[in-house]
């Protein structure tokens, strides 16, 4: 074979390889939200206004992506545990009660401060929002005191931010 023929085959081979690389790949372009960023899961964890020892209470989480409700989550659980006792956690499977809304009913047997966490997995997108709750009058007072202690003292900073 002549040098010209070899160069021609090499050139055709390079073009064929480049075509395969360019057209053989599919673009994985994420959905964008209204601000131009890839959309992500957003949640709104709904807690009862008042919790009573030994009474069933309803907890729910609303799940959205790009402003639309996300139904059919691969995992939807709620986890409850007393403050400082994560090893005593109780997991309750949530039911989808309407599109994008996952709910459970749970009874807390003792007064105290607890954590409630929802675990939502929608085919790879995961969120685990957690909130602290108080059950019983003494626990409510204790939680209010803890939250007030955690706030920065505006008087010490002259009221300026």
- Burial (CB < 10 A; 0-12, 13-18, 19+), residue 62, is middle
Contact 85, 112 (CB under 8 A): no
With a CB cutoff of 8 Å and minimum separation 6, the contacts of 76 are: 61, 93, 94, 95, 96, 102, 118, 119, 120, 121
Of the candidate CATH numbers 3.50.50.60, 3.40.50.720, 2.40.50.140, 2.60.40.1930, the domain formed by 41-150 belongs to: 2.60.40.1930
pLDDT number for residue 155: 53
Mean pLDDT of the chain: 80
pLDDT of residue 22: 40
Domain limits, the chain: 41-150
Give the integer Cα–Cα distance in Å for 63 and 66: 10
What pLDDT does 152 receive? 74
Is the predicted pLDDT of residue 10 greater than 50, yes or no? Answer: no
The pLDDT value given to residue 32: 55
pLDDT tier for residue 2 given thresholds of 50, 70 and 90: low
126 versus 25: the higher-pLDDT residue is: 126
Q: Identify the burial level of 51 via C-beta atoms within 10 angstroms of its C-beta, where 0-12 means exposed, 13-18 middle and 19 or more buried.
A: buried
| pLDDT digit string, tens, across residues 33-64 | 555 555 688 899 999 988 999 999 999 999 99
Position 91 pLDDT exceeds 60? yes
Is pLDDT larger for residue 113 or for residue 27?
113
Q: In the numeric block, which tokens belong to residue 158?
A: 């002259």
- State the pLDDT at residue 48: 92
């Amino acid at each position: 074979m002549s040098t010209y023929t070899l160069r021609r085959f090499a050139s055709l081979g390079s073009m064929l390889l480049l075509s395969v690389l360019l057209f053989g790949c599919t673009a994985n372009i994420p959905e964008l939200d209204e601000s131009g960023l890839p959309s992500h899961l957003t949640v709104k964890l709904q807690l009862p206004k008042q919790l009573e020892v030994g009474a069933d209470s309803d907890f729910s989480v609303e799940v959205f992506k790009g402003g639309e409700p996300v139904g059919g989550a691969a995992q939807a659980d709620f986890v409850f545990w007393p403050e400082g006792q994560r090893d005593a956690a109780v997991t309750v499977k949530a039911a989808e009660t309407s599109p994008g809304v996952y709910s459970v009913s749970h009874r807390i047997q003792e007064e105290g401060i607890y954590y409630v966490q929802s675990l939502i997995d929608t085919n790879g997108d995961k969120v685990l929002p957690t909130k602290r709750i108080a059950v019983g009058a003494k626990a409510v007072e204790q939680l209010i005191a803890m939250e007030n202690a955690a706030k920065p003292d505006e008087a010490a900073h002259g009221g300026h931010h």
